[in-house]
Amino acid sequence: MMRVKEMREMSLAEIDEKIKQLYADYAKMKSQVRSGGAPENSGRMQNARKTIARLETVKLQKQREKPAEEPKKEAKAGKAPVTKAETPKKAAKKAK
């Protein structure tokens, strides 16, 4: 079991690798149960699922942080930025 603090310190590549490893372990345990055998430790399956979910969450959070760090692109000269109020349908209603 990994702690969330440890997960946050990992890079995206390390997180991807750990997720692949956990999916492989989980698939082995699941196939063992489906074939009629008793799992070595049934709590380990639940722990693997929860750890995968936590890793996916941390990965998503890290991915969302990256675009915020990049500078925003400036609007092209001569064109005003389109706002929500200026969508084509609303603009047509305004013109009438």
The predicted structure's pLDDT at residue 42: 80
Q: Is residue 93 part of a domain?
A: no
Residue 89 lies in a domain: no
What tokens does 23 get?
């999916």
Contacts of 82 (CB under 8 A, 6+ apart): none
Q: Is 54 exposed, middle or buried (0-12, 13-18, 19+ CB in 10 A)?
A: middle
Taking residues 17-24, report their average pLDDT. Answer: 95
Alpha helices in 36-82 (DSSP H): 42-69
Q: Whole-model pTM above 0.85?
A: no
Domain that holds residue 20: 4-70
Residue 90 lies in a domain: no
In the structure, what pLDDT confidence band is assigned to residue 76 with cuts at 50, 70 and 90?
low
Residue 48: what pLDDT?
93
CATH for 52: 1.10.287.310
Cα(18)–Cα(39) distance, rounded to whole angstroms?
22
